């Protein structure tokens, strides 16, 4: 029969000693959801070969539990002994909770370097606010904060998570920015900030910065770069990193614009972002993307099985041909082309000779009228062919854009591939 624990034994439970700091060297990837944390996490785990899960969120739970304990304890004033809570040792509870989470991490990652990616979506940004405590637990830790401009971030959030209220997306982004600016000074030289557009526009530079910050080998650095260039794990809309959107270009009505300003204006200024946006970049186009990426709700694929359409890199994907169908169409819905006047792409037909494929682009306006159709024909073993055209003048409003491939001569086999390279709209 189990005997009741002695007061001394209970005291050991109720007043634990803090665990010694762990000597492993974790990398914590932080930032708002839809800010490049997935691309960063994949680059470190799959590119550099650092152990880690796709997402963590354990540290988020740690901070949330500590917040809950503090909230309850501070909600009641001293009662002169009338409340049992007066006798509760909240700091001891914090120690017990911290010890448990540290032991959990140590069990999963006993030593060495590991990666934890925990994007922030909870109000109050607990995944970011816990960073100083994580540095106490793991003095060798490093922190990578991924950041993205508010308008683009909220627009991406709405695309990926349409069931969540607009105001919450705004507030969640803003509180993440504010939390990061509050805690980063407590991290000393253990943090680096990477902006989402940098990963897309300057992948070599970002890879070099990460290699220097983390002490990566040349092989790991090259793996990080390959991942940046190839994978777009969470892309949900065409990439336009060289252009800062205005709220009007985002398609928001006056009520949504007012809500964004109310929730996010302070954070936008703190992070150095303009509310008004910037003109489209002449150098960087509005790039079309691989529609089968997670969360690509603004596109659809017709006439082809999924295996006939896949990404080879962030700038190149196949679109057929298929043994079952002679025509495949990749359509982008609710597309805004403000300021864009030209389309350019290179197309290529790979595989044995005696096959011709037509590559084309069609644009339809908001009422379904076709306002542009351009095409070219590529022949297998011919090499890359240019497909270029100018867009109609004036404001095109909200459009749909379709890329298609169609076999016009011969019969494809499993070795043929119709390839689109850097399809994009330019000013």
pLDDT in tens, 375-423: 999 999 899 999 999 999 888 888 999 999 999 999 999 899 999 999 9
pLDDT value at residue 237: 55
The 10 Å Cβ neighbour count of residue 199 is 23
Going by pLDDT thresholds of 50, 70 and 90, the confidence category of residue 101 is very high
Q: Supply the DSSP symbol for 21.
A: P
The helix/strand/coil state of 134 is helix
Q: How far apart are CA 148 and CA 195, in angstroms?
A: 6
Of 37, 175, 57, nearest to 118 (Cα)? 57
What's the pLDDT tens digit per position in 171-181? 999 999 999 99
pLDDT value at residue 195: 95
pLDDT value at residue 235: 53
pLDDT at 91 over 90: yes
| Domain boundaries defined on the chain | 7-230, 286-426
pLDDT value at residue 412: 93
The 10 Å Cβ neighbour count of residue 346 is 19
pLDDT value at residue 2: 61
pLDDT value at residue 251: 87
Q: How far apart are CA 65 and CA 352, in angstroms?
A: 61
Please give the CATH architecture assigned to the domain spanning 7-230: 3-Layer(aba) Sandwich (3.40)
Mean pLDDT of the chain: 90
Provide Rg for the chain, Cα atoms.
26
Q: What angle do CA 193, 41, 314 make, to 5 degrees?
A: 95
Q: How far apart are CA 288 and CA 286, in angstroms?
A: 7
Q: Supply the DSSP symbol for 245.
A: P
Contact 348, 384 (CB under 8 A): yes
pLDDT at 295 over 50: no
Contact 133, 17 (CB under 8 A): no
22-31, 78-87, 145-154, 268-277, range with the lowest pLDDT: 78-87
What's the pLDDT tens digit per position in 53-72? 999 999 999 999 999 999 99
Please give the CATH architecture assigned to the domain spanning 286-426: Sandwich (2.60)
What's the pLDDT tens digit per position in 342-388? 999 999 999 998 999 999 999 999 889 999 999 999 999 899 999 99
Going by pLDDT thresholds of 50, 70 and 90, the confidence category of residue 296 is very low
């Amino acid at each position: 029969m189990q005997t009741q624990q002695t007061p001394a034994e209970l005291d050991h439970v109720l007043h634990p000693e803090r665990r010694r700091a762990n000597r492993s060297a974790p990398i914590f990837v932080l930032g708002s959801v839809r800010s490049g944390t997935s691309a960063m996490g994949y680059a470190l785990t799959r590119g550099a070969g650092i152990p880690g899960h796709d997402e963590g969120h354990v540290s988020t739970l740690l901070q949330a539990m500590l917040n809950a304990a503090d909230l309850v304890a501070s909600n009641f004033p001293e009662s002169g002994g009338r409340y049992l809570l007066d006798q509760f040792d909240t700091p001891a509870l914090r120690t017990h909770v911290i010890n448990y989470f540290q032991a959990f991490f140590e069990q999963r990652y006993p030593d060495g370097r590991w990666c934890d990616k925990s994007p922030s979506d909870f109000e109050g940004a607990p995944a970011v606010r816990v960073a100083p405590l994580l540095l106490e637990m793991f003095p060798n830790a490093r922190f990578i904060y991924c950041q993205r401009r508010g308008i683009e971030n909220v627009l991406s959030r709405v695309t990926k998570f349409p069931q969540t209220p607009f105001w919450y997306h705004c507030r969640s982004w803003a509180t993440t920015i504010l939390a990061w600016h509050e805690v980063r000074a407590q991290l000393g030289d253990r943090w680096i900030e990477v902006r989402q557009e940098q990963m897309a526009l300057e992948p070599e530079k970002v890879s070099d910065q990460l290699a220097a910050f983390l002490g990566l080998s040349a092989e790991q650095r090259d793996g990080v770069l390959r991942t940046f260039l190839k994978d777009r794990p969470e892309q949900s809309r065409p990439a336009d990193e060289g252009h800062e959107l205005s709220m009007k270009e985002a398609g928001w009505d006056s009520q949504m614009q007012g809500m964004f300003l109310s929730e996010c204006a302070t954070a936008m200024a703190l992070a150095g972002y303009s509310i008004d946006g910037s003109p489209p970049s002449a150098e960087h186009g509005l790039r079309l993307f691989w529609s089968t990426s997670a969360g690509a709700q603004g596109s659809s694929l017709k006439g082809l099985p999924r295996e006939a359409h896949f990404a080879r890199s962030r700038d190149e994907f196949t679109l057929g041909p298929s043994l079952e169908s002679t025509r495949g169409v990749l359509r982008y819905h609710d597309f805004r082309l403000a300021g864009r006047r030209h389309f350019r792409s290179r197309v290529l037909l790979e595989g044995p000779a005696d096959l011709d494929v037509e590559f084309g682009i069609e644009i339809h306006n908001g009422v379904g009228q076709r306002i542009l159709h351009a095409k070219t024909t590529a022949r297998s073993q011919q090499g890359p062919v240019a497909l270029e055209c100018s867009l109609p003048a004036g404001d095109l409003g909200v459009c749909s854009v379709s890329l298609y491939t169609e076999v016009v001569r011969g019969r494809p086999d499993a070795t043929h591939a119709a390839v689109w390279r850097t399809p994009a709209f330019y000013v």
